[in-house]
Amino acid sequence: MYLLGRLLLLVMLVAAVPAAAKTTVIDDSGTLPYDGPLTLHWQQLAPHRPVDNRMSGTLAVHVRLHVAPWLRRSGRIYLVLPAQQPGPMSASWSTQGRLLAGNLSSGRRALVYSGLITTPFVEDVLQLTLLVDGTQLRQLYHVNFKFEMDED
Amino acid sequence: MSPLRRDTLSPPGGAGLHNARRLAGFILCAALLAGASSRVCAFTVSIAPAAPKTVYLQVGVGGFTGNYDAGGTPGNNASVNKDSVSVAAAAVGNGAAQAMTTDSTVGASSYDGYAFCNVPAQLYIGGFYRTTSAGAGSVNVTATVPAALLDAAGNALSFARISWTTGGNGPTGTTTTQPFPAGTFAAGTVQTVGAIGQNQWAESCWSFSYSNTTLPAAGTYTGRVLYTLSAP
């Protein structure tokens, strides 16, 4: 009886500890443009004190996420901007409502959806603005983004 | 957050694939998915350093609307300013340098509006060079100098008779290291008259003078020097 009680307590404890959310990169190959060119402009056309050498550009991205594997399940979708060349940068975006607007800096991720996945694809148009340090640009860079799914 | 609209389900490879890039992206992604449990698809954005270079040079009257630190923007101005001096007949060739004055009315810095130069004794020169490259590089400002100033009769007076000092009001004007240092025209050449560090604003005030060491024929001598800022 004592052993049964300990076992029951252990089961209850295990049940109370939430399992770590599984993170999976979402297939976004339907996104257009998939490698879109972004025209950058100086934040500060002429350098004046304090000098701001950041450059920014905005691009419309039609995001199409293949979320069929999570159909009828709850999850959280994040937009990820991995740390990469040409160095620290940040991104901000607006949406048409299917996904959440937000911003993030490189090396981080931001929540763009939370809830039940009801359709095989999630689509939205993002007005994506990228902010980079202009003095770090030496060549053509392909800045990588990705979407991640955290299952509840 | 709840779904606000119904998403369109379009099968891969169908009408949803509008172009080759998208198809290539899908094939790449599908190939990657086939051999891995974790998905590695990611869209990218291309950024290039080539386009956003900017240069601006102002000698005398410039093309600014407002000042930089107040959100002003640079523009073009076709004005050509003149520095001149009239030497009294009794003083011609006596070796006493004759200070020249400018018809430019610009004494304020286009950077912040500060009264940097004293007109008409000083001529404002300023500019900037915007580039995406890192480091401490600079670009030169050159002067294309004719061999001589000429009068209506064709008499010549070497441009080498004209020199200038440099400076300005305030802390940056009184430093000995000016972006546009003092000099003397090298007649008939293209000479470097200053440098602008990348991603910096540079400005100086020039005071021109005529050396007055020769006895030219009486007349009005004119010539035009062209200042150029070029970036790679």
pLDDT for res B42: 77
Contacts of A67 (CB under 8 A, 6+ apart): A26, A75, A77, A117, A119, A120, A121, A122, A149
| Nearest to A146, CA basis, from B43, B26, B33, B25 | B43
Instruction: Assess contact for B149 and B217: CB atoms under 8 A.
Output: no
Q: Which residues of A136-146 are buried (b: 16+ CB within 10 A; e: fewer)?
A: bbeeebebbbb
How far, in Å, are A44, A55, A58, B75 from residue A52 at the CA level?
6, 9, 18, 20
Query: Is B7–A46 a contact, with Cβ atoms under 8 angstroms apart?
Result: no
pLDDT for res B49: 67
Instruction: Tell which of A29, A38, A56, A59 to mutate to test the B interface (max B CBs under 10 Å).
Output: A29
Question: Residue B51: its chain A contacts at CB < 8 A?
Answer: 39-40
Question: Residue A135: its chain B contacts at CB < 8 A?
Answer: 132-134, 199
> Is residue A50 less than 8 Å (CB to CB) from chain B?
no
> Is residue A92 less than 8 Å (CB to CB) from chain B?
no
pLDDT tens-digit series, residues B150-199 = 999 999 999 999 999 999 998 777 777 899 999 999 999 999 999 998 88
Give the pairing of strands A23-25 and A146-151: antiparallel
Burial class (CB within 10 angstroms; exposed 0-12, middle 13-18, buried 19+) of A26: buried
Residue A152 or residue B49, greater confidence: A152
Range ranked top by mean pLDDT from A47-51, B132-136, B156-160: B156-160
Domain ranges of chain A: 20-151
> Is residue A41 less than 8 Å (CB to CB) from chain B?
yes
Coil, helix or strand at residue B15: coil
pLDDT tens-digit series, residues A67-82 = 999 999 999 999 999 9
d(CA B162, CA B222): 12
pLDDT for res A1: 45
pLDDT of residue B212 exceeding 60: yes
Instruction: State how far residue A14 is from chain B, nearest Cα, in angstroms.
Output: 27
Q: How confident is the model at residue B51 (pLDDT cuts 50, 70, 90)?
A: low
d(CA B187, CA B159): 5
Which residue's entry shows tokens 């000016």? B178
Give first-to-last CA distance, chain A, whole Å: 35
Residue A92 or residue B52, greater confidence: A92
Give the pairing of strands B156-158 and B162-167: unpaired
pLDDT for res A128: 96
pLDDT for res A54: 87
d(CA B224, CA B157): 13
Q: How confident is the model at residue A13 (pLDDT cuts 50, 70, 90)?
A: very low
Give first-to-last CA distance, chain B, whole Å: 52
Question: Residue B16: its chain A contacts at CB < 8 A?
Answer: 30, 64
Which residue's entry shows tokens 């520095």? B83
The ipTM is 0.76
**How is residue A23 written in tokens?**
């993170």
Average pLDDT, chain A: 85
Query: Is A35–B47 a contact, with Cβ atoms under 8 angstroms apart?
Result: no
Residue B209 or residue B75, greater confidence: B209
Q: How confident is the model at residue B117 (pLDDT cuts 50, 70, 90)?
A: very high
pLDDT of residue B135 exceeding 70: no
pLDDT of residue B18 exceeding 60: no
pLDDT tens-digit series, residues B76-107 = 999 999 999 999 999 999 999 999 999 999 99
Residue B98 or residue A5, greater confidence: B98
pLDDT for res A136: 83
- The count of other CB atoms within 10 Å of the CB of residue A97 is 13
**How is residue A98 written in tokens?**
């299917």
Average pLDDT, chain B: 81
Q: How confident is the model at residue B9 (pLDDT cuts 50, 70, 90)?
A: very low
DSSP 8-state class, residue B7: P
Residue A140 or residue B135, greater confidence: A140
pLDDT for res B26: 41
Question: Residue B29: its chain A contacts at CB < 8 A?
Answer: 27-29
pLDDT for res B102: 97
Domain with residues A20-151, CATH architecture: Sandwich (2.60)
pLDDT of residue A143 exceeding 50: yes
DSSP track, A23-61: EEE-B-TT-BSTEEEE--EESSSS--SSP--EEEEEEEE
Instruction: State how far residue B59 is from chain A, nearest Cα, in angstroms.
Output: 17
pLDDT for res A52: 78
